[in-house]
């Protein structure tokens, strides 16, 4: 048995476990790093610190993680790249226009809570009053609660906890009882967050996700911020097609932000300019950059000319040389350093804004 780690920007992206015949494996926590996620400097000098086994560490039970258990499959113990990307976007000035008057917010599939905690930091910055729910499956609750608890004091300093109410709650997508209770409630959510939730795009997963979004969202004022790292393009596209049939529209987040009077999330971070000038910082802190304007219909479609042109035109560094993405080999991925792999990941991450169409 072995544990493999992938890193980006000094932070853990994912973990894969190669199991042997034993059901359980021992963990040496000294060899397992925590993850620091740098947020945009518009929320101050704030870094989220999470750990993939914090619940086990706090419980003094780090030697019994059963990776053969379907509920202990490890997915919620990963800091997914699209979650980092969404947290950084939410805390950038570009997202402010999308967060205006959002008072009831919920994240689906929170994992360790990175994106949801990014939202909390942004709401504090904007002096908002809101309720935020971080949700996931029952098995994920101890880890999610532990990591939120470890960041709570920095996220909600002083009196801000009286304005921003945070709940960590169980929610299984498509659960009939939970959906029945929510459908009967008049209190819907005006902001839903989803980050890297299509890594397993089965029919059951997509049906449950679509049904849950439709039940939870306020159809008049609600907004979905959906950050995805495209992997199985055609299978993942089914989610957007299904939501379209249900009367929803998803567009690149920059498009909606611009229509509402905001800007692109590629806008330079100038929030720390003390003299009021618009000079760009030499090294903007954690600014998420959108690499393409491909729609969900276009991204990864081998028949789409815009998609083909994009991936033929963008390059990443491999051993100091520029290599077109369409020409990358398995050997190239092995030779990439962390920073170059980050660049490749960013090319495959898109943030979409979704909403229910008005009839």
- pLDDT digits 0-9 by tens, 289-345: 456 889 999 999 999 999 999 988 889 999 999 999 989 999 999 999 988 888 888
The more confident residue out of 346 and 189 is 189
* Residue-level pLDDT at 183: 67
The more confident residue out of 291 and 111 is 111
Size of the chain, expressed as the number of residues it contains: 359
Q: Over 80: is that where the pLDDT of 23 sits?
A: no
* Residue-level pLDDT at 291: 64
The CATH architecture of the domain made up of 35-54+71-260+351-355 is 3-Layer(aba) Sandwich (3.40)
Rounded to an integer, what distance in angstroms lies between the CA atom of residue 122 and that of residue 127? 9
Q: Which among 191, 192, 209 is positioned nearest to 200, based on CA atoms?
A: 209
Give the max Cα distance, the chain: 63
Q: Would you kindly state where each structural domain of the chain is located, as residue ranges?
A: 35-54+71-260+351-355, 305-347
Q: Output the CA torsion 46→47→53→57 (10° steps).
A: -60
pTM listed for this prediction: 0.84
Identify whether the C-beta of residue 22 lies closer than 8 Å to the C-beta of residue 36: no
Q: Over 50: is that where the pLDDT of 355 sits?
A: yes
List pLDDT tens digits, range 71-93.
Answer: 555 688 888 889 999 999 999 99
* Residue-level pLDDT at 11: 34
Identify whether the C-beta of residue 146 lies closer than 8 Å to the C-beta of residue 54: yes
């Amino acid at each position: 048995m072995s544990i493999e780690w992938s890193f980006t920007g000094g932070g853990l992206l994912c973990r894969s476990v190669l199991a042997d015949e034993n059901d359980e494996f021992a963990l040496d926590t000294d060899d397992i790093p925590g993850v620091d996620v740098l947020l945009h400097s518009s929320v101050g000098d704030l870094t989220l610190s999470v750990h993939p086994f914090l619940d086990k560490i706090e419980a003094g039970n780090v030697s019994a993680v059963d990776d053969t258990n379907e509920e202990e499959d490890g997915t919620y113990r990963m800091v997914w790249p699209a979650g980092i990307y969404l947290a950084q976007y939410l805390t950038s000035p570009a997202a402010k226009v999308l967060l205006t008057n959002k008072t009831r917010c919920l994240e689906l599939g929170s994992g360790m809570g990175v994106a949801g905690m990014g939202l909390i930091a942004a709401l504090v910055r904007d002096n908002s009053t809101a309720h935020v729910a971080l949700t996931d499956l029952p098995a994920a609750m101890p880890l999610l609660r532990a990591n939120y608890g470890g960041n709570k004091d920095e996220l909600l300093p002083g009196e801000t906890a009286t304005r921003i109410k945070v709940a960590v709650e169980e929610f299984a997508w498509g659960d009939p009882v939970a959906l029945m209770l929510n459908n009967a409630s008049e209190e819907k959510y005006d902001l839903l967050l989803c980050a890297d939730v299509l890594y397993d795009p089965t029919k059951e997963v997509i049906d449950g996700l679509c049904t849950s979004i439709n039940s939870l969202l306020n159809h008049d004022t609600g907004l979905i911020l959906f950050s995805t790292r495209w992997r199985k393009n055609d299978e993942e596209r089914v989610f957007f097609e299904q939501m379209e049939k249900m009367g929803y529209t998803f567009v690149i987040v920059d498009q909606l932000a611009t229509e509402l009077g905001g800007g692109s999330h590629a806008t330079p971070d100038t929030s720390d300019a003390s003299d009021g000038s618009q000079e760009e910082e030499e090294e903007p802190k954690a600014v998420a950059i959108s690499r393409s304007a491909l729609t969900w219909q276009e991204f990864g479609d081998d028949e789409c000319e815009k998609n083909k042109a994009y991936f033929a035109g963008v390059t990443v560094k491999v051993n100091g040389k520029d290599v077109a993405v369409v020409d990358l080999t398995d050997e190239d991925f092995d030779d990439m350093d962390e920073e170059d792999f980050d660049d490749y990941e960013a090319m495959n991450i898109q943030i979409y804004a979704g909403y229910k169409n008005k009839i």
